Amino acid sequence: MDKKPCKSQDVEVRKGPWTMEEDLILINYIATHGEGVWNNLARAAGLKRTGKSCRLRWLNYLRPDVRRGNITPEEQLLIMELHAKWGNRWSKIAKHLPGRTDNEIKNYWRTRIQKHINKQAEAFSFHISTPELLDHHASTSQLPCNGSTSFMETYSPMSSFNHCNLEPFPGQQQEVQQQQQLQPQQQHIVDQPNNESYWSMEDFWSMQLLNGD
DNA sequence: AAAGCGCACAACCGCAGCCTG
DNA sequence: ACAGGCTGCGGTTGTGCGCTT
């Protein structure tokens, strides 16, 4: 799908992780010229990237209003509600979560919520196949709610989800621990009061200073 | 201490729709 | 009306890192 960025001159296209230098070039360029046609921007800024790649990097990572770090329980609930309503319309869902990107929400859904749901579905089918265990599990069941409802009913926020306790998923506690163990430089990026995490231009610049660039 | 494993996330890919000449 | 280019979106993959054994 991505054609060569320029027909007249076969410029090599870089792929893979963005370097700090590339980030800086992109930030500087957009700061002075603003966003525009991404293919032109990539060329004009001297980045050996496709416009598409620049756009993605900017929207998902470099934009100053991008909010990074833990998804809060409130956001988690909202994601589940909106997903139940709209399905995998990530960009639509993202519009209702200021500072969150569709990519972030999509990743969050796939790695945390979907896995959580799958586990519960497995547990549910296990219950079905082993009815003799129902009594034992009645008090300690990991099922979110009512064990006699279908799984999708269980998941749907419009039905029984609202009655369930919104506990952090297993990964979330781990995340908190991980964040506490982050390198000082990383901590500067992600740690903010109230568990709010932002990546700002100031952060970027101060990192540049730290790195002696 | 080191190897293997699993998780989380950044980035890429392909497609569809829109816009413009 | 049509073709080419650009953007946006959703799905998928690659990789780095932490945890476990």
pLDDT in tens, A122-140: 666 655 555 444 343 333 3
Closest nucleotide to residue A54 (Cα to C1')?
B11
Residue nearest to nucleotide C7 (CA to C1'): A52
Nucleotides of B under 7 A from a protein CB: 7-16
Q: Which of A63, A92, A113 is the last residue of a domain?
A: A63
Q: Which nucleotide is nearest to A111 (CA to C1')?
A: B8
Q: Is residue A156 part of a domain?
A: yes
Query: In Å, what is the CA distance from A110 to each residue of A80, A176, A185?
Result: 12, 19, 28
Q: How sure is the predictor about A53, in pLDDT bands with cuts at 50, 70 and 90? A: very high
Q: What is the pLDDT of residue A79?
A: 87
pLDDT (0 to 100) of residue A148: 34
A56 touches strand B (CB under 7 A): yes
Three-state DSSP state, A65: coil
In this structure, the answer to whether residues A57 and A78 fall within a common structural domain is no
CB atoms within 10 A of CB A94: 20
Task: Check whether residue A105 and residue A18 sit in a common domain.
Answer: no
Residue with tokens 């410029």: A11
Closest alpha carbon to C1' of B7, residue: A111
- DSSP bridge pairs for A67: A198
What is the domain range of residue A78?
73-171
A199: CB within 7 A of chain B nucleic strand = no
Nucleotide nearest to A105 (CA to C1'): B9
What is the DSSP annotation of A69-117?
A: SPPPHHHHHHHHHHHHHHSS-HHHHHHTSTT--HHHHHHHIIIIIHHHH
